[in-house]
Structure 1
Amino acid sequence: MTQADAAAVRKQVVVEAPQERAFAVFTERFGDFKPREHNLMAAPISRTVFEPRVGGHIVDIAEDGSECRWARVLAYEPYERVVFSWDIGPDWQLVAGPENASEVEVRFIAETRHRTRIELEHRRIDRHGPGWEAVRDGIADDAGWPLYLDRYAALLVEGR
């Protein structure tokens, strides 16, 4: 296994939804499946917003109005893929600069007109520096990306 392989987490899920809908639910309803307990702020999260453009952010907004911009949108290509930074380090605090951030690519691949495979790759985790393995292990755990993707798929099943 190479360093790049060790510094990446790959997950996928297949949903019974057209590619366009799968993409829209992921980007427009990110806050509906992101666990609220995944919070870097002192106050509880009231909502999470995925700003749908390159240069946008993924922002947690707390009940007290404070904000945590924990990701930057690096690529936004409806209905094919999104790429965003992961600006959270091994201490589960925001990283100081983009050179210390990993990145997440999410691809939406139409298998049929009504079925889409979502491939998520969280890569370059070693850019977080010493302790990066804790980030990898945390996002690969059942409470990490598998939980996000399970909740995301449930939204599509519910038809909401």
Structure 2
Amino acid sequence: MSNPEQSISLEVVLPLARPQAFELVVERFAAWWPREYTFLGDNLDDIGIDPHLGGQCYEQDRGGTRIVWGTVLSIERPLYLRIAWQIAPDRQTIADPAAASRVMMSFREAGEATRLELVHTDFIRHGESADAYRAQMASPAGWPLCLARLAAMAGRR
């Protein structure tokens, strides 16, 4: 059994220079994020991250309605992005960023490539479901799938 106070730490090497890797991950989020992991599905018009302190991580439908699923807590282009992960274990959004877990993405130079280090912490903020949520996000269908999609997109670029 996992521990909700433990973090998930994963990394993937992207065949891009650090500025291009950062741009793909943060500013071209819609290009790689799995559509099946969106709230709006077929009604999705846009998904992205407003890349500034306090910026929204959002989905938007064709009518302009926006769902906020995260908040940018800190950002230093092209070094890192830290967000409040405002998605609850039951796939509902969390209005208050202070009540959400945290995701840190660090971009490290690796020769001509970039090593993206992703650390998801503070699952305890999700209450009684924290342990199961951590296990879900660490499973092959969680963050590993998302990072595999990112790596595939980076290789096609």
TM-score for both structures, normalised by structure 2: 0.90
How high is the sequence identity, in percent, across the aligned residues?
Answer: 31
- Please give the alpha-carbon distance, in whole angstroms, between the structure 2 residues aligned to 1:2 and 1:91: 19
Deviates more, 1:87-96 or 1:68-77: 87-96
One-letter code aligned to 1:147: L
- Taking the aligned partners of 1:158 and 1:136, their CA distance within structure 2 comes to 30
Distance in 1 of aligned mates of 2:139 and 2:62: 28
Aligned-residue CA RMSD (Å): 1.9
Counterparts of 2:13 and 2:42, CA distance in 1: 34
Q: Name the structure 2 match of 1:106.
A: 105
Q: Following superposition of structure 1 onto structure 2, how do residues 14-93 of structure 1 map, counting pairs within 5 Å?
A: 14-41=13-40, 44-93=43-92
Alpha carbons of 1:21 and 1:132: their partners in 2 closer, same or farther (altered >3 Å)?
same
Closer, same or farther: CA 86–64 of 1 in aligned 2, 3 Å: same
1:43 and 1:64 in contact (8 A); partners too: no
Count the aligned residue pairs. 156
| Structure 1: gaps of 5 or more residues | none
Q: Which sections of structure 2, spanning at least 5 residues, go unmatched? A: none
1:157 corresponds to:
155
SS at match of 1:137: helix
Q: Which runs of 4+ in 1 moved over 4 A?
A: none
Q: Show the counterpart of 1:148.
A: 146
In structure 1, C-alpha distance between the alignment counterparts of 2:141 and 2:4, rounded to whole Å: 24
